[in-house]
């Protein structure tokens, strides 16, 4: 008898019929003698519907209250799934984030889980119940409702799996695993049967929406066995593996991309060492994540400074930057909301400089200008004009032959 945490995303619980289907699947696992904890998202479209109402009232709606609002989405789903489970003869009980006692910090809209009390969940499991937990939400030390940010239900699932020592955390989604890239953009994309934790981390951080990055971090930290599966089809999905070099690791495992990007440039700031901290301090204080950063020294004692943020944070970041610009006597602030990031990811690339050369050559041949570049040991990211996104993904997928099963790679760039 094993203990599974199963997470079902918004599409998987997108209608009453689908919720009933999820109940049947959970019942099947239960019938095999396993204990099951289910973590669910809001029904697809619900979070956006709620956010839309908030924004109609106030585009800069109080973030504490936005969390109160959107956390209802998951609460609706847990109730409906528990009703469906009880109806099909599988005793179940729902729990909100605060009932589970998922404690978080107070960063509304992107809170981090600080700890989870396992007693309430264990007590319900011991009573023979399937426990249905609202993903994406928690409580801070002031007893305010918090949310973990987009995709936070994955994080909840992994964190709960780690806390209760689950044997496997199964992420059921609308795709049947992790692909070399998004098949909606590149039909030749291929499912990976395994992916390393490090690659998954990069893929997630770069916008591949199969798993949310924080959930991957959590999984890695606690070595939670994590599997991505389809809610709609049978199959083994993709298993996230830990440690160990893979002998036949491909140079590049996948192409990730992210449309939810915006860039901000502050022109003509003083070229001195403290300026980056002065610019980014207020951004960081406002809990806005900064991704890529480039400082361009002009030689006249001044510099241009560019960074990217989530498009959701663009408005707020721009406002903060405008006042920093005034303080620094900068010449102006420019923003661009129509950019996208495209990245190649692979544990095999770290000692193969030829990978970067190939990437830049391919993009160049297609006339795609790279506005920013950022690299790590296992990924290279470039920012391009959003309109070139699909072209960039397809060209790179072709160039690295990702539609074919990986062979032993020739050594050397």
Q: Which stretch binds a second copy (CB under 8 A): 75-83, 245-253, 359-367, 399-407?
A: 75-83
Q: Which stretch binds a second copy (CB under 8 A): 71-79, 154-162, 183-191, 365-373?
A: 71-79
What are the tokens at 104? 């978080």
Return d(Cα 378, Cα 165) in angstroms, integer. 30
Number of residues that bind a second copy (CB under 8 A): 37
Residues at the binding site are: 7-10, 47, 74, 173-174, 179, 184, 209-210
* Binds a second copy (CB under 8 A): choice among 6, 94, 156, 253: 94
Nearest to 4 by CA among 189, 216, 226, 214: 226
Minimal distance, residue 50 CB to a second copy, in Å: 7
* Binds a second copy (CB under 8 A): choice among 128, 143, 244, 245: 143
Pick left, alpha or beta for residue 177 (phi over 0 → left; psi -120 to 50 → alpha; otherwise beta): left
Minimal distance, residue 105 CB to a second copy, in Å: 18
Residue 145 found at the interface with a second copy (CB under 8 A): yes
What residue ranges in 272-378 does DSSP mark as E strands?
A: 290-297, 302-310, 332-345, 372-376
CA angle 4, 233, 11 (to 5 degrees): 80
Sign of the torsion angle spanned by Cα atoms 94, 96, 101, 102? positive
Residue 255 found at the interface with a second copy (CB under 8 A): no
Nearest to 229 by CA among 2, 8, 405: 8
Residue 76 found at the interface with a second copy (CB under 8 A): yes
Which residues 43-62 are close enough to bind a second copy by CB under 8 A? 50, 53-54, 56-58, 61-62
CB contact at 8 A, 291 and 306: no
Residue 147 found at the interface with a second copy (CB under 8 A): no
Minimal distance, residue 259 CB to a second copy, in Å: 27
Q: Which stretch binds a second copy (CB under 8 A): 138-146, 280-288, 324-332, 399-407?
A: 138-146
Nearest to 201 by CA among 176, 226, 182, 183: 226
Residues at the binding site for ATP are: 7-10, 173-174, 179, 184, 209-210
Q: What are phi and psi of 106, to 5 degrees?
A: -100, 20
Residues that bind a second copy (CB under 8 A): 16, 19-20, 50, 53-54, 56-58, 61-62, 64-66, 68-69, 71-72, 75-76, 78-80, 82-84, 86-87, 93-94, 96, 98-99, 120, 143-145
């Amino acid at each position: 008898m094993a203990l599974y945490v199963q997470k079902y995303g918004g599409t998987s619980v997108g209608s009453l019929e689908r919720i009933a289907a999820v109940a049947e699947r959970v019942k099947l696992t239960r019938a095999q003698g396993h204990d099951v904890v289910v973590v669910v998202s809001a029904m697809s479209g619900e979070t956006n519907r709620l956010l839309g109402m908030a924004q109609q009232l106030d585009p800069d709606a109080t973030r504490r209250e936005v969390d109160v609002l959107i956390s209802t989405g998951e609460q609706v789903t847990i109730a409906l799934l528990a009703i469906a489970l009880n109806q099909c003869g599988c005793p179940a009980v729902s729990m909100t984030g605060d009932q589970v006692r998922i404690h978080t910090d107070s960063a509304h809209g992107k809170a981090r889980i600080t700890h989870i009390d396992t007693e309430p969940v264990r007590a319900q499991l011991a009573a023979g119940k399937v426990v249905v937990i609202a993903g994406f939400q928690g409580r801070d030390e002031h007893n305010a409702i918090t949310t973990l940010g987009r995709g936070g239900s994955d994080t909840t699932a992994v964190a709960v799996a780690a806390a209760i020592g689950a044997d496997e955390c199964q992420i059921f989604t609308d795709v049947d695993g992790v692909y070399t890239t998004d098949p909606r953009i590149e039909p030749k994309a291929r499912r990976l049967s395994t992916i390393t934790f490090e690659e998954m981390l990069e893929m997630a951080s770069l916008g591949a929406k199969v798993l949310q990055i924080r959930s991957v971090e959590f999984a890695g930290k606690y070595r939670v066995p994590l599997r991505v599966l389809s809610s709609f089809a049978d199959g083994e999905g993709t298993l996230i593996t830990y440690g160990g070099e893979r002998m036949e690791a491909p140079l590049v495992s996948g192409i990730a991309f992210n449309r939810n990007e915006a860039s901000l440039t502050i022109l003509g700031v003083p070229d001195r060492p403290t300026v980056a901290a002065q610019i980014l301090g207020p951004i960081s204080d406002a809990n806005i994540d900064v991704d890529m950063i480039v400082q361009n020294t002009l030689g006249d004692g001044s510099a241009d400074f560019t960074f990217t943020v989530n498009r959701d944070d663009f408005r707020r970041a721009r406002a903060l930057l405008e006042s920093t610009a005034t303080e620094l006597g900068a010449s102006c602030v420019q923003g661009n909301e129509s950019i996208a990031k495209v990245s190649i990811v692979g544990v095999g690339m770290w000692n193969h400089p030829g990978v970067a050369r190939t990437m830049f050559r391919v993009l160049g041949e297609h006339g795609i200008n790279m506005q920013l570049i950022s690299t790590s040991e296992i990924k290279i990211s470039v920012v391009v004009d959003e309109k070139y996104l699909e072209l960039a993904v397809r060209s790179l997928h072709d160039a690295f032959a990702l539609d074919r099963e990986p062979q032993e790679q020739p050594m050397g760039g």
